Amino acid sequence: IPEDELSRSSHSNPGKSLVNGIKTNPASSSPKGSFSMPMGPPVYVDLAYIPNHCSGKNTDPEFFKRVRASYYVVSGNDAANGEPSRAVLDALLEGKSQWGDNLQVTLIPTHDTEVTREWYQQTHEKQQELNIMVLASSSTVVMQDESFPACKIEF
């Protein structure tokens, strides 16, 4: 953008700036220029995919407090990158304990990993208390030259 055009656009909209593409009033924004999502009622869904292959980079107990699913899919299979993350699986327990009702939740791991097995064994009593069931892969899908475990889910 030419400098004179940039100057004109800033004069035509005084006191306003853009943060992540959203017009904000600098006087009302935080010092770092970031803003947090307002709290609202939880969202109930049938099926939710745990973000980023169940990595701890993007998912914490707040996710499970706000996104309440009948089924959560855990797709991580990269131990070197912490996928799936034990902290995220523990966050499910912590988040679910805050729901206030004991709705059935089914966890669907797409891979049989050491992290998932250890978590399952070490927290089994807590899972039962919170009405969480972990689904094991019960069949195999064969596509061309590849085969992999799969779960059938019916709604």
Closest of 36, 88, 98, 89 to residue 66, by C-alpha: 98
Distance CA 124, CA 6 (A): 60
Which residue intervals of 27-104 are DSSP H helices? 51-54, 61-66, 86-96
Maximum separation of any 2 CA atoms in the chain, in Å: 67
Phi, psi of 18, deg, nearest 5: -105, 130
Whether 111 maps to a domain, the answer reads yes
The set of residues, in sequence order, having a beta carbon less than 8 Å from that of 9 and lying 6+ positions away, is 1
Confirm whether 17 is domain-assigned.
no
Q: How many domains does the chain have?
A: 1
Q: Is residue 30 part of a domain?
A: no
Q: What range does the domain containing 111 cover?
A: 43-149
Q: Is residue 31 part of a domain?
A: no
- Tens place of pLDDT per residue across the chain (155 aa): 455 544 444 444 444 444 444 444 444 433 433 445 567 899 999 999 988 767 677 788 999 999 999 999 988 777 777 668 899 999 999 999 999 888 999 999 888 888 989 999 999 999 999 999 998 766 677 788 887 766 666 55
**What is the pTM assigned to this prediction?**
0.65
**In a domain? residue 142:** yes
Phi, psi of 61 (to 5 degrees): -55, -30
72, part of any domain: yes
Is residue 39 a contact partner of residue 63, using CB atoms and an 8 Å limit?
A: no
**Does residue 69 lie within any of the structural domains?**
yes
Question: Looking at the domain assignment, is residue 119 inside a domain?
Answer: yes
